[in-house]
Amino acid sequence: MKIKSFLLCSTAISLFFLSGCKPSAESLIAAVKADNSADAVKLIAKGADANSRTSPTGWSALHFAARNGDVEVVQSLLSAGADPNYSASMNNSAATRKPLDLATASLDLVSQIPAAQMDATLRQIGLDDPALLKSLKDPTAAVRYTKVVQLLAKVTK
């Protein structure tokens, strides 16, 4: 009887850990979108799906990491098998972009717009996401985006 109880208990615990430990796609997307590198890397290490998306045709975690110029998260996602060639649309728009396109566009913005004018310029063109604004105004933005572009250029077809 004790052996039977032990086996049932150990099986239940094993099933709990197998099914309950993998982080959700939503938690990974939220961490990456908010530019929370530490949490995103932890979630990836815990087995979050590197190809997590906002919707079936929406941006992936890699899209948000590339847009935010987050070198560490881009590297972690690529190492975990994220697809750099996935083209997605944001908010059901007709235009689709690969993560490399977003990183390149962000690098162009950083290169062309002075940090002091970044808020006003981005708001004029409808890019008022707080994480993006913070990332683009960072004094190291050009270096970070250059690294992200280089990482993605190596693996994008």
Q: What CATH number does the domain containing 112 carry?
A: 1.25.40.20
Instruction: Confirm whether 7 is domain-assigned.
Output: no
Instruction: Confirm whether 133 is domain-assigned.
Output: yes
Instruction: Confirm whether 14 is domain-assigned.
Output: no
What does the pLDDT read at residue 14? 40
Residues spanned by the domain of 30: 23-155
On whether the CB atoms of residues 126 and 91 are closer than 8 A, the answer is no
What's the total number of domains in the chain?
1
Residue 134: is it exposed, middle or buried by C-beta count within 10 angstroms (0-12/13-18/19+)? middle
What does the pLDDT read at residue 17? 42
What does the pLDDT read at residue 20? 56
Q: What is the pLDDT of residues 30-57, one digit of tens each?
A: 999 999 999 999 999 999 999 999 888 8
Q: How does residue 3 score in pLDDT terms, banded at 50, 70 and 90?
A: low
Query: Considering only CA atoms, which of 71, 83, 63 is closest in space to residue 41?
Result: 71
Instruction: Confirm whether 11 is domain-assigned.
Output: no
Residue 28: is it exposed, middle or buried by C-beta count within 10 angstroms (0-12/13-18/19+)? buried
Q: What is the pLDDT of residues 93-150, one digit of tens each?
A: 778 999 999 999 999 999 999 988 988 988 888 888 889 989 998 999 999 999 999 9
Instruction: Confirm whether 16 is domain-assigned.
Output: no
Rg (CA), the chain: 19
Instruction: Confirm whether 5 is domain-assigned.
Output: no
Query: For residue 4, what are its two tokens?
Result: 């039977």
Q: What is the pLDDT of residues 11-31, one digit of tens each?
A: 333 433 444 578 999 999 999
What's the whole-model pTM score? 0.84
Instruction: Confirm whether 65 is domain-assigned.
Output: yes
Instruction: Confirm whether 102 is domain-assigned.
Output: yes
Query: For residue 137, what are its two tokens?
Result: 């105004």
On whether the CB atoms of residues 65 and 142 are closer than 8 A, the answer is no
